[in-house]
Amino acid sequence: MSLAEPIEKVKSILIPIINQLTGRAKRIAAAELAIGYGYGGQTFAADELEMSRNTIRKGINEINSGEEKEDEFSLRGRKKATEKLPGLEGQIKAILDSQSQADPKFQTDRLYTNVSVDEIRKQLIKCYGYMDGDLPTNRTLNTIVNELRYTLKTVKKSEPIKKVPETELIFDNLNRVHELAAKDDKTVRLSIDTKDRVKVGNFSRGGESRVEVKAYDHDFGDDYVVPFGIMDVKNKTTNVYLSGSKVTADFMADRLDEYWIENGYAGSGKVLLLNADNGSENNSSRTQFVKRMVQFSIDNNTEVILAYYPPYHSKYNPIERVWGVLEQHWSGALLDSKETIHNYIETATYDAKCLRADIVDTVYKTGVRVSSKAMQIYEKALSRMAGLEKWFVRISPSKCMDALAFTDCFY
């Protein structure tokens, strides 16, 4: 047997064992191997263990001196930018805090800012006297901003969610009436809402398109449409009506009349549960809307339940989800005519069902009101829930007929 064979056998046993060690233990074991090997031992150990000869030398010095040396891992590699520039984090925070807004829901301590990393770099140079070369790369600055719990995102709403004292009670009652309606085949639950007006023209909407789209470099123009939606919550079907003028109480009431008749509900004995957001044109204090709902109840022999969502919580109104679908559907498309908007709506789907759209050319007069004297009579036709008078109103046709039997204010 040659000398090489036992050496190779020893190596096959020792090297894997030493490689399982870490830190000082591995360094000392490698130094012992080098010493035992003799001349050329440092090179041998370094090659076999894939270690630096400086590390092995350090281990030999520890063995010879009997002194242990601490591993200083923190000194390895490049220092972080915030270590080299200890004031950088505070300076970035000062820049962002002056131009940021808090999370509007107060659900996290993260701040939202629309200040870009380029702008942060410019302000660091301008306000704190840095040279451009003194600062880390924009990628590193972006990492620092994220670690400080900021994110580059424009705040859409800076107001915190507010609550009126009745909010929880309103939701309790909404849940109750919705559960009853879901079990009752005689109840038709409709959700109504008016979307923000949509500008008509070759304007950029900030969305995306798979085809090249060229929009005007400005968004001036007076032509717009206002979508008003009626959703059947049970069936998940939605009708959208496009108005070229303000959506008034009369506009809403006319559309509800049309919808009720077109769907065969008039005179059917069905009950209308109407969800809305208590807006300026459809709240239960809007005299013209109340008048029209009383008319609706009598004309269609239909009991009407007005069930409103509390202030600052309109997003829970089911029809609001359709508006989100529409924005995603037309995305970056040029809505250059009412017909284009109409066609985009009718090619959109919610819950796998196509939306229906109609253009309403009638211009409705704004500011129509019922006199206080006449309103006193209409109030007799209403049953308001005690403590939640603004948010839950029941209108029955028989009570309406009794209240208006001896007056001509209805006509």
User: What is the CA 90 to chain-centroid distance, rounded?
Assistant: 30
The span from the CA of 4 to the CA of 320, in Å, is 82
Look at 83 and 395; give whichever has higher pLDDT.
395
Q: Which residue has the tokens 């001196």?
A: 65
Ranges 41-45, 69-73, 123-127: which has the least confidence: 69-73
Parallel/antiparallel/unpaired status of strands 101-102 and 111-113: antiparallel
Q: SS3 of 14, please?
A: helix
Over residues 282-291, mean pLDDT: 94
pLDDT confidence of residue 200? 83
The span from the CA of 393 to the CA of 388, in Å, is 9
Band (215; pLDDT cuts 50, 70, 90):
very low
Beta strands in 174-233 (DSSP E): 187-194, 198-199, 224-232
Q: Are 197 and 226 in contact (CB under 8 A)?
A: yes
Among 391, 366, 387, residue whose Cα is nearest residue 279: 391
Asked whether the predicted pLDDT for residue 107 surpasses 60, the reply is no
Band (227; pLDDT cuts 50, 70, 90):
very high
Ranges 106-120, 309-323, 391-405: which has the least confidence: 106-120
Please, which residues have CB within 8 angstroms of residue 334's CB and are 6 or more apart in sequence?
201, 202, 203, 213, 215, 340
The span from the CA of 64 to the CA of 85, in Å, is 40
Over residues 345-353, mean pLDDT: 91
Q: What class is the 167-404 domain?
A: alpha beta
- How many angstroms separate the Cα of 278 from the Cα of each of 28, 283, 296, 303, 310? 78, 4, 18, 19, 8
The span from the CA of 317 to the CA of 193, in Å, is 8
Asked whether the predicted pLDDT for residue 101 surpasses 70, the reply is no
Asked whether the predicted pLDDT for residue 209 surpasses 80, the reply is no
Band (263; pLDDT cuts 50, 70, 90):
very high
Ranges 111-120, 168-177, 294-303: which has the least confidence: 111-120
In this structure, the number of other CB atoms found within 10 A of the CB of residue 134 comes to 13
Residues of the chain with CATH 3.30.420.10: 167-404
